[in-house]
Amino acid sequence: MTDKGNITLKIASFLGVLAGVWSVSSILIAITVSPWFSWVSNALSDLGVSPAALIFNQGLILSGVFAFIFALSHFKTVEKSIGGRVGTGFLVLASVSLIGIGVFTEDYSPHHFIFSVLFFVFVLFAFLSYGAGCLFEIKWRWLGVYCIVFGVIGIIAWALPVWDGVAIPEAITAFPAAFFITVLGLKTFLSAYKTS
């Protein structure tokens, strides 16, 4: 890899780390300043049409942009892994969907619903495919187990008809995904640093 390519990968990897941290921080801050919010009866997107809308929506949009840049860059590092390529492709799609959720709030129907559904579907597919790639091709076994476990947990959370709102299954899917992209960004950054 050229020096320029290595620097680009480092920057993109840092954005991957930032995407995970920024998204979770924005959501939690928005919840903290919204005493009306209920994990049981609300959706996380309700924060996007509340007094905390700026905090919530900018968090999703910026995180989506950061994740999109990282995922495109990361794709080149997993060229030899079918699961890694497919999983990273789903990350690209999930990033675009996340931006869509932040831009098209609940006031924009049906756009918001479509982007929301696509985001969670793409995240779960990314978990399962990238996890399989880690287990059988990339050799990051612990990360593969993590992805498969949270992919399955996410599917179960959405399948259970026990929620009045959807904030809980949303969090069960989104927060592990944020941790995943943070770890993936950090691992990619450290790998790029070692080869520089």
* Average pLDDT value over all residues in the chain: 92
| Average pLDDT of the residues in 37-63 | 97
Looking up tokens 């320029």, which residue turns up?
A: 4
pLDDT at 2: 61
Tell me if residue 194 falls in helix, strand or coil: helix
Instruction: Encode pLDDT of 139-183 as tens digits.
Output: 778 899 999 999 999 999 999 877 788 999 999 999 999 999 999
Question: Distance of alpha carbon 43 from its chain centroid, rounded?
Answer: 17
Question: Distance of alpha carbon 19 from its chain centroid, rounded?
Answer: 8
Q: Comparing 137 with 59, which gets the higher pLDDT?
A: 59
How many Cβ atoms are within 10 Å of 125's Cβ, its own excluded?
Answer: 18
| 189 Cβ contact list (under 8 Å, min separation 6) | 9, 10, 13, 14, 16, 17
pLDDT at 57: 98
Instruction: Encode pLDDT of 122-144 as tens digits.
Output: 999 999 999 999 888 767 788 99
Q: Which domain holds residue 71?
A: 3-194
Q: Residue 27: pLDDT above 60?
A: yes
Q: Are residues 83 and 134 in contact, defined by beta-carbon separation less than 8 angstroms?
A: yes
Confidence of residue 4 (pLDDT cuts 50, 70, 90): low
pLDDT at 187: 87
Q: How many domains does the chain have?
A: 1
First CA to last CA distance, the chain: 9
The phi and psi torsions of 33 (rounded to 5 degrees) equal -90, 10
CA nearest 25: which of 35, 14, 37, 33?
33
pLDDT at 193: 67
| Average pLDDT of the residues in 105-114 | 96
Between CA 106 and CA 143 the distance in angstroms is 34
